[in-house]
Chain A
């Protein structure tokens, strides 16, 4: 008996051997499904456990809300002040998005220049790497001096933090392409823009997206740090205000919202990635 697509015709009745195989297959499928369910539940279960430990730990150790509020107190605080949190979140979000978009566009453009021009690579690459070693957070006070207290320094700081990973991963993605792939396209008479659009770009996209995913988290950090240094609005500013007024719960609430923004943006990029990038493993 031949199995699989090679067997020309199938008999209506299963042999004992086939029935056995089939049964084993379904039980294997069942255990695989169970494994997926437990894998998917692992993170929620752990999170809930930690939150419960926090909630009851605070009571057990008799900590005051001013030292460490419970998760429930934080949730309640968010629910009572949603307006303030939302309006500040909108400001932070706009800084993050503007900085991120600049970094994405500028980063990919820089990567292309590095890839296509040896001169540019020789001239700019070492400077970029050197600049990357400077802790950019240290630039925040200077940025306030140059760009003022408003939107610009936060957006710029978000851009600065996010830019480098986009450049690096895009360059790596472009350089990873098998040279014979390019030769093949050339032999078909392809010119460079065709090779770029049909081969180089799609081949580099997984790397570009891994850069973008790192970049989005970093631009959230950049914007919030910018707000810590000097600002009149935004979640970072709000958090700082709350701390100075010993309103620890509000400080935590702002932190939760910052975290939610980061997660939401990360998931948004992942969703775009799923639409645009064909995963090598997906077909397996």
Chain B
């Protein structure tokens, strides 16, 4: 660890593009099965994400979308091809990446503040200088006053907000989200999606967002990628050209409906959604 890193403190907040660019080149990932065979989870995928872009990946279970995320996070190893973040090849977890998983993964023995401080602690940065930043994040997600509480005192939605704060405290230039709202009830989810948009508009970092929900993807993303299952490949790369901030009302508008229809059509042609169901 270099000296600069240990004395790091939060940057002054000016909302300009804060994101990195991410490039996948012929990326493949194979897993060994118990029987000794190999399963190709991801097959020669190419993808370029521009700085500050919000990219959502939609696909059925087992299409390799979570694999893509854990490769980008540097927590699992690439089989072939490579990922670069701002030109630097990912070989281990990149210091400027924050991750949010489907479950909040809060440590139940730590207070909310101490949970959010976890990445700061691990990186060996000065915790005290990050306290104002933590407070500001908690206020942003409507949890000011909860800093001293324990995770078991919070609802599922609140806990997931804390998990998002924990990912954001280090001011990541790339935010990876693996079905972050998948475990929440419908109403909480809707609120969280709006809040995420607002937060991202002020941060403008690069986001790679994985979801099952077509609606969620279209609402949030600049670009929606549709993945086909086993081996995972990108089937559709759709630019969502709708002004921000988007609202739930605008979901009823024709262009939104068209985008969602286009994505549905891909799933139908793959036999993932039947025509009768749509």
Contact = CB atoms under 8 A, between A and B. Distances in A.
A198 interface: yes
Contacts of A198: 107, 118, 121-122
A202 B75 CA distance: 22
Contacts of B99: 184, 187
Contacts of B156: none
A189 B122 contact: yes
A188 B74 contact: no
Interface stretch (A30-38, A133-141, A276-284): A276-284
Contacts of B122: 185, 188-190, 194, 198
Contacts of B108: 278, 280
Main secondary structure of the interface of B (DSSP, over half): loop
A278 B109 contact: yes
B261 interface: no
Nearest to A206: B109
| Range of interface residues on A (Cβ < 8 Å) | 20 to 34
A194 B120 CA distance: 12
B119 A283 contact: no
B93 A189 contact: yes
Given A194-B122, A198-B121, A283 B152 contact: yes
A130 B97 CA distance: 48
Contacts of A186: 73-75, 93
Nearest to A183: B75
B93 A180 contact: no
Contacts of B101: 180, 183-184
Contacts of B149: 283
A240 to B, nearest CB: 46
Nearest to B145: A5
A243 B98 CA distance: 70
Interface residues of B, number: 27
B109 A188 contact: no
A185 B73 CA distance: 11
Given A180-B101, A198-B118, A283-B150, A187 B74 contact: yes
A256 interface: no
A181 interface: yes
B109 A189 contact: no
Contact of B73 (A187, A203, A283): A187
Interface string B67-105: 000100111000000000000000011010111010101
A272 B93 CA distance: 37
Contact of A187 (B97, B107, B150): B97
Nearest to B149: A283
A159 to B, nearest CB: 30
Q: Looking at B95, B118, B170, which has the most chain A CB atoms within 10 Å of its CB?
A: B118
A284 B153 CA distance: 6
Contact of A283 (B97, B121, B153, B176): B153
A188 B152 contact: no
Nearest to A190: B122
A284 B152 contact: yes
A104 B101 CA distance: 36
A188 B107 contact: no
Contacts of B152: 280-281, 283-284
A242 interface: no
Given A280-B152, A283-B150, A283-B152, A188 B105 contact: no
B113 to A, nearest CB: 15
B124 to A, nearest CB: 9
13 contacts: A185-B122, A186-B73, A187-B99, A188-B122, A189-B95, A189-B123, A198-B107, A198-B121, A199-B107, A202-B109, A280-B152, A283-B150, A283-B152
Interface of A: 178, 180-181, 183-190, 194, 198-199, 202-203, 277-278, 280-281, 283-284
- Top 3 A-B residue pairs of the complex, sorted by shortest distance between their CB atoms: A278-B109, A188-B119, A283-B152
